[in-house]
Structure 1
Amino acid sequence: MIGKQIRMERIINRETKKTIIVPLDHGVSVGPIDGIRNLTATIQKVAEGGANAIVEHKGLVEDGLRGSGPDIGLIIHLSASTSLSPKPNAKTIVCSVEEAIRLGADAVSVHVNLGNGDEKQMLNDFGRISYDARNWGMPLLAMMYPRGEKIRDEYDKEAIKHAARVGAEMGADIVKVSYTGSAETFREVVEGCFRPVVIAGGPKMDSDRDILEMVKGATDAGGAGVSMGRNVFQHKNPRGLVMAFSAIINRGASVEEAMAILQGEAV
């Protein structure tokens, strides 16, 4: 379908088939935290660094619209829950594919937590969104996490492999999962999921080297890039960090080379 191909090229590098996505949807789940209070400034920085797309909820599309600067793809997030809820892992659908199209989205995303009592409803919602996205030629990013009462360790390799496969089999075009801790184990995740796999950033990390080593490991394992929010928009230099990501993901740079880029040195 030509519409989906055109939109995919707006959120993924057409040459490398890799992507750098920066989610900015955290305001619904945890409130106006540092880094997303001024969306326009943050979007400008990550766009300048070479990010392919951002993720936003529908109400902030106009606020993040810039009249100049590098273009960047727009992914509208359809799922929501808040940390104020007694069941924050239960995601509900708050936007439709059609509404996202009217807002100018290049793709849509859903969040599914497996292994809890609300899995049934989230999978049902996922199936409906997948159907609508396919009908409209809209790329679909699925954020898949083993997270709930039945999950002892949400970073367990087997659980993440399963979550990634569910995302692919339910019709996602890109699947987002947590990193498993090593290139060797993450390669198993990628090999078991016949769609591009990107890694989440998770909680804010203190070490730039740790972040870049995680990106390098996922890339070496065959991953398709990153979908990182807090570790990017709360970084002291979001533009430089995205540039460092791009060097690893799109050019195969080493961690040392990426560190040099982040630190503003010539490589």
Structure 2
Amino acid sequence: MDDGLISGPEDHLRDVRRLLRKDVLEHVTAVLGFRGVLCAAQRELIDTPTIMNLSASTTMVEHTRKVAVGSVADAVLAGAEAVACHVNLTSPYESEQLEVLSRRVTEAQAVALPVVAFAYPRGRHADGSDNNYTDLRANDPEKFAELVRHGVRASVELGASVIKTIYTGSVDSFRTVIDSAMGIPVLIAGERLTEDGDEAIAKAVNAVEAGAAGVAYGRQIFARPEPDPFLWKLRGALDDQVVSAPPSEAFPMMASNAGPNSRW
């Protein structure tokens, strides 16, 4: 629920509390947001774990430059069960984002909070717009997978508990991403809203087949006029995938902390 800060409170994001209905929340494991929205929606989220985003930017100026906008202490005071921090690999500001992630991991380990790292291959075009490497993913999927692997591994090296990243486009290529995570749970981002919900569900199923721990879908759920049918279908598809997998390969919809101090 963090897009209100990033892209603006338009359409379905005007008052996100209206989206947080019980029949929707019963199918999700946690809700991500910035501290103000999580506090404003305390009543709606009383039975749902929350993840506080501690880094931010907007699409209006330097979107690839994620800066620190909160601390682990802030998240503890707000009652969050985990924190999140974003790194855009290949951004001109990549180094400072890596430093922020490392600091948040150190703070979070002191109070046994998991850290969800958002590790995206996202650079900047000459005109200042985002370079999400969509052409590279289409034309050179191995090179794109290499970028994703590097971002995931950087997050592992810095101590992230869970990593959210971009699906590489195929089960085989995403397995290489999972291998690079060395046992740290990996989630896939929903990316832009797809009108065809089946496409988003197929991507989720393929990612889990490759070894992903689940999905971190925001706009794929809440940007739909009627999110309930899509969410029920997604939840059912992922549950079926878990049931059909061998016990050693079965994953929940949201990952748990891989470290010894897990409370998530």
TM-score, normalised to structure 1, is: 0.80
Describe how 1:218-257 pairs up with structure 2 within 5 A: 218-252=207-241
Distance 1:34 1:139 in 2: 32
Distance 2:124 2:197 in 1: 32
Query: Which of structure 1's runs of 4+ aligned residues deviate more than 6 A?
Result: none
Deviation of the 1:248 alpha carbon: 2.3
1:125 aligns with 2:100: yes
Q: Deviations over 1:40-91 (max 9, x none)?
A: 221225303x100111101112221226x88211000001111111x21000
Select 2:148's aligned residue among 153, 157, 160.
160
Tell me what 1:84 maps to: 60
Percent identity over paired residues? 31
Bigger relative contact order (CA 8 A; separation at least 6): 1
Distance 1:96 1:70 in 2: 22
Distance 2:217 2:185 in 1: 15
Consecutive unaligned residues of structure 1, counting only runs of 5 or more, are 1-23, 255-267
Consecutive unaligned residues of structure 2, counting only runs of 5 or more, are 126-130, 138-143, 244-264
SS of 1:141 mapped into structure 2: strand
Tell me what 2:176 maps to: 188
Tell me what 2:257 maps to: none
SS of 2:39 mapped into structure 1: coil
Deviation of the 1:152 alpha carbon: 7.6
Distance 1:70 1:27 in 2: 21
Distance 1:244 1:97 in 2: 35
Deviation of the 1:241 alpha carbon: 2.1
Q: Is the 8 A contact 2:121 2:132 kept in 1?
A: no
Select 2:12's aligned residue among 20, 35, 38.
35
Cα distance 1:152–1:238, how it changes in 2: closer, same or farther (>3 A)? closer
Deviation of the 1:114 alpha carbon: 1.0
Distance 1:215 1:152 in 2: 19
Q: Deviations over 1:130-166 (max 9, x none)?
A: 1001111001100001111497826411100111111
Distance 2:242 2:76 in 1: 36
TM-score, normalised to structure 2, is: 0.81
Select 1:174's aligned residue among 149, 162, 166.
162
Q: Is the 8 A contact 2:64 2:124 kept in 1?
A: no
Select 2:109's aligned residue among 113, 134, 144.
134
Distance 1:81 1:184 in 2: 33
Distance 1:152 1:109 in 2: 20
Q: Is the 8 A contact 1:175 1:198 kept in 2?
A: yes
Aligned length: 228
Tell me what 1:54 maps to: 31
Give the letter aligned to residue 27 of structure 1. Answer: G
CA RMSD of aligned residues (A): 2.0
